[in-house]
Amino acid sequence: MSFDENTVDDDSCHSSRIVYPQRPIPHPISKTPAFPDEYDSALMQTSIPGPKSTELLKEMDTYQNTKTVHFFVDYAQSRGNYIVDVDGNRYLDVLGQIASLPIGYNHPEMAKAITDPRNLSMLTQRPCLGMLPPADWTERIRNTLMRFAPKGLTDATTMMCGSCSNENAFKAAFIWYRTKQRMGKPPTQEDMTSCMSNAAPGAPDLSILSFSGGFHGRLLGCMSTTHSKAIHKVDIPAFDWPVTPFPSLKYPLHDYIAENVADEKRCLALAEESIISQKSKNPVAAIIVEPIQAEGGDNHASPDFFRKLRDIASKHGVAFIVDEVQTGGGSTGNFWAHENWELENPPDIVTFSKKMQTGGYYCKREFRPEEGYRIFNTWMGDPSKIVQLEAFLDVMERDDLLENTRITGKYLMDGLFSLSETYPELVSNVRGKGTYIAVDFPTTQDRDTMISLLRQYGVEAGGSGDTSLRLRPALVFQPKHAAEFLNIFNFACNQMEGP
């Protein structure tokens, strides 16, 4: 795959109507039908943020912190893979609402489900699902969450977001671990009394083993397993839980087979050593790991690494939690990224959110507490999100979106490999599964400059880790959209390298 060099007069980059030269790029054809009435391409009208967004930012800043806001969105005008801001700028969205947009903006089937009179009662009041579920709740769970339940996991518990999914998965693992220690018996009276003063044995000194570079959320327990960016953790108390290194693979993989195998072996040995050493301190009740470390920099490991990690967990009687909050829902080309590992013994718990619209976790039956109110909150999720999830799953199956993601992902990866050869001093370490892809830049400043240029030229993108650009488009992102992205990315690289 080759890309023509793009050139543009410097003044045009700062005009009221931002343009860049486009070159036709051949791309494969996906059998997935085109998104209905989707825009042809990105279209930029103003500088970023535009005057209306700037004014709204000033107004919003009187009420809350606005440091993370990119621009204000006209969601009514956004469509398919294109997000439109309040100034009329139209961006190709490859960030996908931080990986949470499943089938694009304003998909007709999603709108149809939300406006269906049969679903009105789900929107008119928000039920306390743990106590007063609607009459058809079991059917809705069966038609959605259980329809794509990970192999070997029989239970599904709904939650609101990724953080509370992981937080409650930790609780389920701790309860399971202590129940094992009591030989299946319920908590003793001493347990019940001591826990009320945060003392053992009712409040046991147990831990969760996590990996450097991991991100599992921003609640208190989750932050003790999050090690991606210091700003997420600073000033917040943390549990004294063990952290072990995650493999740091070298690319291209075929040039570093021996080195990468050795590094994974080292990390597995350290993980097992940590479990053993913690037994006399605060025993490890569970391991949590992402199939691909997302926020931490799109860090990968081989299926063999995860298979052996699962074996270590089983060997030491430790729960194995797979955090699929960002990887779940199809963006890797499989509905669940851990399917690629081909585990003989499935994970004990799989957490989810983002593209799944609702948060929650799947688990084996033994991780369901016997008593009520142990995994509980007022809402236990939101039934309107199950309505959205069902529409997403129907469209995914009907339009063969997993196959589309595999086709588009390969084309996108090939294009990025080609551009890394064209700009070897700028773009490196192309990696990914499906359209869940990242590339690296020499420095954080270079990466941030690229994100800024892409937004200026009509691409909404984001970073991960210190130097990575991450791609997290919706499953309706097709080869033609990938071609548009590669064209703009090529131009932005050319601008950064200069004459």
Rounded to an integer, what distance in angstroms lies between the CA atom of residue 390 and that of residue 136? Answer: 13
Residue 254 is predicted with a pLDDT of 95
- Please, are residues 101 and 355 in contact by the beta-carbon 8 Å criterion? yes
Residue 90 is predicted with a pLDDT of 98
Phi, then psi, of 286 in degrees rounded to 5: -155, 155
User: In angstroms, how far apart are the furthest CA atoms of the chain?
Assistant: 78
Q: What is the mean pLDDT of each run of 10 residues along the chain (499 residues)?
A: 38 44 74 96 96 97 96 98 98 98 98 95 93 96 98 97 97 98 97 98 98 96 96 95 98 97 98 97 97 97 98 98 98 98 98 98 98 96 96 98 98 97 97 98 98 98 97 98 97 89
Rounded to an integer, what distance in angstroms lies between the CA atom of residue 146 and that of residue 390? Answer: 11
354 classed as catalytic:
yes
Evaluated on CA atoms 21, 24, 28, 32, the torsion sign reads positive
Residue identified by tokens 């239970």 is: 155
Which of 35, 174, 215, 305 is the catalytic position? 215
Which of 85, 263, 298, 323 is the catalytic position? 323
In sequence order, which ranges of 295-360 are alpha helices (DSSP H)?
A: 303-315
The rounded Cα 262 to chain-centroid distance in angstroms is 28
Which of 7, 378, 443, 444 is the catalytic position? 378
In the beta sheet, which residues pair with residue 243?
210
Residue 21 is predicted with a pLDDT of 57
Cα torsion at 175, 177, 178, 180 (round to 10°)? 120
- Please, are residues 87 and 458 in contact by the beta-carbon 8 Å criterion? no
Residue 405 is predicted with a pLDDT of 98
Residues with Cβ within 8 Å of 149's Cβ and at least 6 positions away in sequence, in order, are: 156, 362
- Please, are residues 377 and 349 in contact by the beta-carbon 8 Å criterion? no
Helix-helix angle 479-497:444-456, to 10 degrees:
120
In the beta sheet, which residues pair with residue 431?
438
441 classed as catalytic:
no
Which of 354, 385, 433, 480 is the catalytic position? 354
In the beta sheet, which residues pair with residue 439?
469
Residue 441 is predicted with a pLDDT of 98
Residue 13 is predicted with a pLDDT of 39
Helix-helix angle 303-315:257-278, to 10 degrees:
20
246 classed as catalytic:
no
pTM comes to 0.94
288 to 73, 247, 294, 326, 494: CA distances (angstroms): 35, 15, 14, 14, 41
CA atoms within 13 A on the CB side of 37: 7
279 classed as catalytic:
no
For 251, the token pair is 């690319």
